[in-house]
């Protein structure tokens, strides 16, 4: 066997030096302040135990829908307008009549103390600082009363309907008594989707604060996910459209329905009198191969004909994503995972920075697209894959 030449040894040494230099450069980048929302995910990965990071990032089965939620945005092109006065940009809008600083709300995300000891309280304070709406999860690790007491942010309450309807009714009453402004009914979860990372990691579920004294969370998981055992043992799989009438009878709060993905269900939601629709596939955590939310948003918007506000949940990582959703008819978007990444990495400050980054990126996108306010963002500002196919006919 021949010995290597001085040239090959020198080249090998150069490659090793380059690798070391690249790795150290990457470490310095991640140690610095993140410059976009995606960089917070890596910081969250470094900060969290494997089990909890997998819980927040994972989807169901082979995660097609989880990936498609983001990738579908990439297939939509922005068509800017030039020579427009964009010296002043107004990002403000309203949701159910409540003024917010930008068309971005915080989606309901469960068990936030797994990400940071301050949990939902830190998130609520960040929402208040950024003048936007937080949707508080039923399965939160701070009680809805604790969240209400910590800030003056406008809050909505996300509701699961349990087999024991009296428990759900008590949660709704508590939300109304504590100043929450709307109920967000999650309608896509008769059972929990198969989240294989949680099964492999044997996810341990802490006691949800809102359910203390109301519902036992001690369910046998058969060696798999504790969350799956809890959900399948308590959620009401008989929940149907007629039950919206029951929900309306126990509260004066407006009801938004979360989980709509078709024009047929959008029309049914109108028939039962909801105040708003959230186009959502549960962040790719329920039915795998359900459509990316941005790909069906316009279908839902057309179905409701402006009679209720429509919101988009899922896949938003950039200001350009928000702009695209607005152009396709959304009133606002909801962000979940990015908020958790910010919370895990830097607590309340991290959540605030995530929201500020999205706001700054949206402002820049609007400026470069020739839009000075939300009402100036129109369907003509985007070109979808469907539009491109039609143009070839």
Q: What is the pTM of this model?
A: 0.89
CA 92/CA 85 separation, integer angstroms: 18
Identity of the highest mean pLDDT range in 200-214, 287-301, 376-390: 287-301
Q: What is the mean pLDDT of the chain?
A: 90
- The single residue of 74, 282, 302, 386 carrying the catalytic annotation is 282
- pLDDT tier for residue 8 given thresholds of 50, 70 and 90: very low
How does pLDDT run across 19-46, given as a tens digit for each residue? 444 344 445 444 568 999 999 999 999 9
CB 185 within 8 A of CB 255: yes
Q: What is the pLDDT of residue 25?
A: 40
pLDDT above 60 for 12? no
Q: What is the pLDDT of residue 223?
A: 59
Tell me what the mean pLDDT of segment 313-324 comes to. 98
State the Cα torsion 270-274-279-281 to the nearest 10°.
-110
Residue 300's H or E segment, with its range, is helix 293-304
How does pLDDT run across 123-179, given as a tens digit for each residue? 999 999 999 999 999 999 999 999 999 999 899 999 999 999 999 999 999 999 999
Q: What is the pLDDT of residue 109?
A: 96
CB 350 within 8 A of CB 40: yes
Q: Would strands 155-159 and 183-186 be described as parallel, antiparallel, or unpaired?
A: parallel
Q: What is the pLDDT of residue 31?
A: 58
How does pLDDT run across 218-229, given as a tens digit for each residue? 654 565 666 777
Residue 245's H or E segment, with its range, is helix 242-249
204: tokens are 């341990």
DSSP 177: H
Tell me what the mean pLDDT of segment 8-29 comes to. 45
Q: What is the pLDDT of residue 219?
A: 53
Q: Cα 226 from chain centroid?
A: 22
Bigger pLDDT: 85 vs 206: 85
Q: Give the burial class of 18: count Cβ atoms within 10 A of its Cβ; 0-12 exposed, 13-18 middle, 19 or more buried.
A: exposed
Lowest mean pLDDT among 2-6, 218-222, 235-239: 2-6
- Concerning whether 282 is annotated as a catalytic residue, the answer is yes
Q: What is the pLDDT of residue 351?
A: 98
Reported residue count of the chain is 393
CB 377 within 8 A of CB 367: no
- pLDDT tier for residue 65 given thresholds of 50, 70 and 90: very high
Q: What is the pLDDT of residue 2?
A: 47
- pLDDT tier for residue 212 given thresholds of 50, 70 and 90: confident
């Amino acid at each position: 066997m021949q010995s290597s030449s001085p040239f090959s040894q020198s080249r090998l040494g150069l490659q090793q030096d380059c690798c070391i230099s690249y790795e150290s450069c990457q470490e310095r980048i991640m140690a610095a302040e993140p410059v976009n929302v995606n960089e917070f995910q890596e910081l969250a990965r470094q900060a969290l135990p494997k089990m909890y990071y997998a819980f927040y990032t994972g989807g169901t089965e082979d995660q097609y829908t989880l990936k498609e939620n983001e990738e579908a945005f990439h297939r939509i092109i922005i068509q800017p307008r030039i020579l427009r006065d964009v010296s002043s940009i107004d990002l403000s809008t309203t949701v159910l009549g409540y003024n917010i600083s930008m068309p971005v709300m915080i989606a309901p995300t469960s068990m936030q103390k797994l990400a940071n000891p301050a949990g939902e309280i830190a998130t609520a304070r960040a929402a208040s600082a950024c003048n936007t709406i937080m949707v508080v999860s039923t399965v939160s690790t701070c009680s809805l009363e604790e969240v209400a007491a910590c800030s003056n942010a406008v809050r909505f309450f996300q509701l699961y309907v349990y087999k024991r309807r009296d428990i759900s009714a008590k949660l709704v009453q508590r939300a109304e008594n504590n100043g929450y402004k709307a109920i967000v009914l999650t309608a896509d979860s008769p059972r929990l989707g198969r989240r294989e990372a949680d099964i492999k990691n044997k996810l341990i579920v802490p006691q949800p604060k809102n359910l203390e004294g109301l519902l036992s969370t001690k369910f046998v998981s058969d060696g798999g996910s504790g969350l799956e055992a809890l959900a399948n043992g308590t959620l009401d799989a008989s929940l149907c459209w007629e039950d919206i009438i029951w929900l309306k009878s126990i509260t004066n709060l407006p009801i938004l329905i979360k989980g709509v993905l078709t024009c047929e269900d959008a029309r049914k939601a109108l028939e039962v009198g909801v105040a708003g629709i959230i186009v959502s596939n549960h962040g790719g955590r329920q039915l795998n191969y359900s459509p990316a939310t941005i790909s069906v948003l316009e279908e839902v918007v057309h179905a409701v004909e402006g009679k209720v506000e429509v919101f988009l949940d899922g896949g938003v990582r950039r200001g350009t994503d928000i702009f695209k959703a607005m152009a396709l008819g959304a009133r606002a978007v909801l962000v979940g995972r990015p908020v958790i990444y910010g919370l895990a990495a830097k607590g309340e400050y991290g959540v605030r920075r995530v929201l500020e980054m999205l706001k700054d990126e949206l402002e820049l996108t609007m400026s470069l697209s020739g839009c000075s306010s939300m009402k100036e963002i129109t369907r003509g500002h985007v070109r979808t894959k469907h539009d491109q196919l039609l143009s070839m006919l």
